[in-house]
Amino acid sequence: MVNHCDIGVDIVDIRRIRKSFEKYGDSFLRRVLTEKEISYCKGKKDMMPSVAARFAAKEAISKAVGSGISGGFSWRSVEIDNDEHGKPFMRVLDRSLGIQDSSISLSLSHDGDYAVAFVQIEC
């Protein structure tokens, strides 16, 4: 699917993610996150900033891939994990995307009401 280098960025209002969770509960989480991501987020005092950051990361990678959330890319095509130092990284679960884990750079941040993600697919 990807045969070039590209970037993607997304910002998410954490309040919107919280409202979706309050309305749909765990079914919302299962739709947009993997079980590993859900477990990580539920380990936080307030899981919503981490959920929102992962949501933003998936939107950002879908933009870098060029499809958006559709057209062959789904919420569960990738998984966001953290290394032993807490640095986030992206794992590609759907190999049909044509990208390798090692080619993706990821940065996540959240503050106040917003979470942001920046993704770069490297050559």
Q: How confident is the prediction along the chain (123 residues), in pLDDT tens digits per residue?
A: 455 689 999 999 999 999 999 999 999 999 999 999 999 999 999 999 999 999 999 999 999 988 777 667 889 999 999 999 999 999 999 888 888 889 999 999 999 999 999 999 997
Q: Which residues, in sequence order, are CB contacts of 44 under 8 Å at separation 6+? A: 50
Whether the Cβ atoms of residue 104 and residue 8 lie closer than 8 Å to each other? no
pLDDT confidence of residue 74: 87
- Predicted pLDDT at 4: 62
Q: Indicate which CATH number applies to the domain containing 54.
A: 3.90.470.20
| Measured distance CA(76)–CA(8) in Å, rounded | 17
The reply to whether 10 sits in an annotated binding site is: yes
What per-residue confidence (pLDDT) applies to 67? 75
Distance CA 56, CA 72 (A): 18
Q: Are 106 and 99 in contact (CB under 8 A)?
A: no
- Determine how β-strand 88-92 pairs with β-strand 104-111: unpaired
Question: Does residue 78 fall inside a structural domain?
Answer: yes
Residue 94 inside a domain? The answer is: yes
Instruction: Kindly report the pTM of this predicted structure.
Output: 0.92
Residue 1 lies in a domain: no
Whether 13 has a binding-site annotation, put simply, is: no
72 lies in some domain: yes
Q: Residue 85: inside a domain, yes or no? A: yes
Residues in the chain: 123
Catalytic, 63? Answer: yes
The residue range of the domain holding 75 is: 6-121
Number of domain units in the chain: 1
Q: What is the pLDDT of residue 26?
A: 97
Catalytic residue among 4, 36, 63, 85: 63
Whether 110 is catalytic is yes
